[in-house]
Every structure is written in structure tokens, then in C-alpha cells.
Amino acid sequence: MTRIRLFEERTLEVLMQGKLASTMCHVSIGQEAVAAGVCMAMQPQDYLTSTHRGHGHLIARGGDLARMMAELMGKATGYCKGRGGSMHITDMALGHLGANGIVGGHIGIAVGAGLWSSLSQNRAVTMCLFGDGAVTEGVFHEAMNMAAVFRLPVVFVCENNQYAMSLPWSKSTPAVDFKTRAAAYALPGVDVDGQDVAAVYQAACAAADRARRGDGPTLIGAHTYRFFGHSRGDPSAYRDPEEEKRWRARDPLPLFKARALAEGWLDEDAIVRIETEARQAIDAAVAAAEAAPPAADSVAFEDVYAPSGAQQLIDKAVSA
């Protein structure tokens, strides 16, 4: 959580300095407990699908901060060769199937990953993270239904940050809890405090266990809040400052710190060490990204198609 918070705070600084390669950048400050709780429940073989507000998901999954920052800056060493930017950061080696710029666009992909896990018995669970805006897209219904009827090993996690851009959750849907919604698909639905990383972790573990046992998907609603606007140009004029204050008082980082100290999970030294190490890692990532060469012009024109397997076979047959 600390790494996510510091990485995104630094990202905003770098953005203000005009060093990002794109104008598109959505930070998840305030929502870190969801990313951390969900990704901690994952095993190495598992898959993750992510959103336009996805920096935290990849960091929580173990993403390389230097390659992430390089991607944001449009550098050759970035995760997507400097071509994807903030909204499309991906590390396939971590089973990360992509941060997706289309709200809800990846929910069907998560069903497909789950379908292949079910067919190939590869023991992987797919964690599908999406925002509250995705819930009102048609594909959400299709995907939930198909995953449920095929009992696929997918955990659907709505990171409900209360606003689909400017529209509040209560005006997006009359069914505001996820237990009710899940019942339509005969699935367990769980509503958790998205500011409490332990609660998110426990719900995600239970859902992942259930999926791994072959009992099918779970729908989790992790209720959280984005402390900043939708994107950099958004002053959040549509939000009540009192509401913002209430949510900011439940910042997941201090909440966890207090709990960890009270429960004896961590002592003050350990917390200082975590913060120092995170800061150093981010300093190093920014320095490495700044020193990296920019993406070459040719990068714009490459990778439109993967090498064609069939064509290679035909060429081989012709030359033989």
C-alpha cells in the first residue's frame, strides 16, 4: 500500500513536471487497500485483469516500479515498450492480462482466462478487478452469468470508489449492495470495507479458495473512495467536501498502521523501514526511467500483428 501511495504521489509530481508521455493518467490514491488485499490473496500461477486506474494492481502484484515509471514516461524500457502508457500497463510474466481502457471491457476476458483454466485444469484463479462504472455496462451481466453457469474460477471484485467519473453510485443503480446483485446469478456476494486491507484480503482469500475448489465465482464489492478527481483535469466539483472529508478520515494507510501496531503485526521500526524502502525504490525507479532512452519512432509501427504461425509453416513447407 505504501509503495502504491508513494508511486502515485510521485507520478502526479512527474505529470506536473510535464515528463509523462501521455495526457491520460488516473491515480487510485485512497483505494490502495483493495489492490493490496486482492493481490495478496493470489498465487503465482493466477491471473489478474485490471483497469484504467490500475497502477496499484500491478504494484501489488509485484510489478517492477522502474519499468512502470518508464512506461508512463514513454521510454524504451517501459513495460509496453513505451507504447501503452498508464492505461495499458501489463506484465504478462506476472499473469497480469492488462490494464484496460474500456470500462468493463476486460470482464469478458477474465471469463475467458477462467474458461481456459477450467478446460486445461491449470489451477489458476483469475482476479477480475473493475470499477463501479463497469457494473452498469451490459458485458458485466453477460460475464457474470457465463462465469456462474460454467462455475469458472474467477473472482469478480468491484472496486467501488463511489463515482463513475462524476455519477455517484446511488444514481448509477438502485441496487447498491453486491450481495443482492450476486443473488441474480446464484453466486455468493460479499460487501467489504474497501479501506480495510485485512477485510479485503480475507474476502479475496475465501473467494479464491472457493474458485480453486471448483465451486465457481464470487462477486465482491469493495467499497472505497478515490481521494482525487477522475483524472488530472477533474477538480471533483460534483462531490460534497464533507463527504470527501469523511472518507479521507478513513485513509487505508493510517488505518492499517494503527491496526498493525495494536495487533502487534508490526512495530514502529518496521513501519519506518517499509516507508523508507518504498521511497528509495521509487526514487530509483524515477531515476532509472529518466535515464532510459525514449521509445524509438519505429515502436509506433511494430507489433500490429504477432508473427503468423501458419505462414511460418507454409514457408517451411515451400522451402523444404
**Site map (CB under 8 A) of another protein, residues 83-112, x = contact:** xx---x-xxx----xx-xxx--xxxxxxxx
The one-character DSSP state at 38 is H
What is the residue type of 144?
M
C-alpha angle 135-140-142 in degrees, rounded to nearest 5: 155
Question: Contact 25/231 with Cβ under 8 angstroms?
Answer: yes
For residue 22, what is the DSSP state?
-
User: Any contact of residue 31 with another protein (CB under 8 A)?
Assistant: no
43 sits near another protein (criterion: CB under 8 A): no
Cell numbers of 189, please?
456476494
Contact 132, 161 (CB under 8 A): yes
Q: Does 149 bind another protein (CB under 8 A)?
A: yes
311 DSSP β-pair partners = none
Residue 237 vs 306, nearer CB to another protein = 306
- 302 close to 85: Cβ distance less than 8 angstroms: no
Residues between 118 and 137 that touch another protein (CB under 8 A) = 119-120, 122, 124, 126
Least CB distance to another protein at residue 235 (A): 29
Q: In angstroms, give the least distance from the CB of 75 to another protein.
A: 12
Applying CB under 8 A, the span of 2-10, 115-123, 205-213, 255-263 interacting with another protein comes to 115-123
Tell me the window of 15-23, 143-151, 178-186, 252-260 that interacts with another protein (CB under 8 A).
143-151
Of 184 and 206, nearer to another protein (C-beta) is: 184
Report the distance separating Cα 27 and Cα 16, nearest Å.
Answer: 13
Confirm or reject binding of residue 79 to another protein (CB under 8 A). yes
184 binds another protein (CB under 8 A): no
Q: Is 58 left (phi over 0), alpha (psi -120 to 50) or beta?
A: alpha
Is 314 a binding residue for another protein by CB under 8 A? The answer is yes
Q: Which residues contact 162 (CB under 8 A, 6 or more apart)?
A: 132, 168, 169, 223, 224, 225, 226
Could you list the residues that contact another protein (CB under 8 A)?
A: 47, 49, 78-84, 88, 90-92, 97-98, 100-102, 105-117, 119-120, 122, 124, 126, 138-139, 142-143, 145-146, 149, 302-311, 313-314
